Amino acid sequence: GAGVSQTPSNKVTEKGKYVELRCDPISGHTALYWYRQSLGQGPEFLIYFQGTGAADDSGLPNDRFFAVRPEGSVSTLKIQRTERGDSAVYLCASSSTGGQVDTQYFGPGTRLTVL
């Protein structure tokens, strides 16, 4: 079956611009996670959705970052006034219910480059 998909696969933008990154989770998965992976590092938690609501957004680095999941399926990560330090691979994962032993299935990521 279809896995987690993310679009675009690559995004190049200029400092100060606004970007949106999209995640399509596995159908029926209620839990959705966003991570940021910098070069040579492990994924860093950003935000966790359970259904339509953000159950935990404590990983968002500042108020330039925002994410939505209006219908409990597709999610969009929005970054305002991008900075060069935002350059990273943004990973999305989904799981069936969000419990700790519930396997998270990761998408291939969106590589964001801020010039």
Partner 1 sequence: QQQVKQSPQSLIVQKGGISIINCAYENTAFDYFPWYQQFPGKGPALLIAIRPDVSEKKEGRFTISFNKSAKQFSLHIMDSQPGDSATYFCAAFSPGNQFYFGTGTSLTVIP
Binding site for partner 1 (CB under 8 A): 4, 33, 40-45, 48, 55-56, 58-59, 91, 93, 98, 100-101, 103-109
Distance CA 115, CA 15 (A): 6
**Pseudo-torsion of CA 18, 10, 13, 23, nearest 10°?**
0
For residue 94, the minimal CB distance to partner 1 (Å) is 11
Smallest distance from the beta carbon of 50 to partner 1, in angstroms?
8
Instruction: Considering the complex, state which of residue 19 and residue 43 has its C-beta at the smaller distance from partner 1.
Output: 43
Give the Cβ contact number of residue 46 at 10 Å: 21
Min CB(29)–partner 1 separation in Å: 14
Q: Kindly tell me the sign of the dihedral angle through the C-alpha atoms of 64, 89, 41, 49.
A: positive
Q: Give whichever of 14 and 58 is closer to partner 1, judged by the CB atom.
A: 58
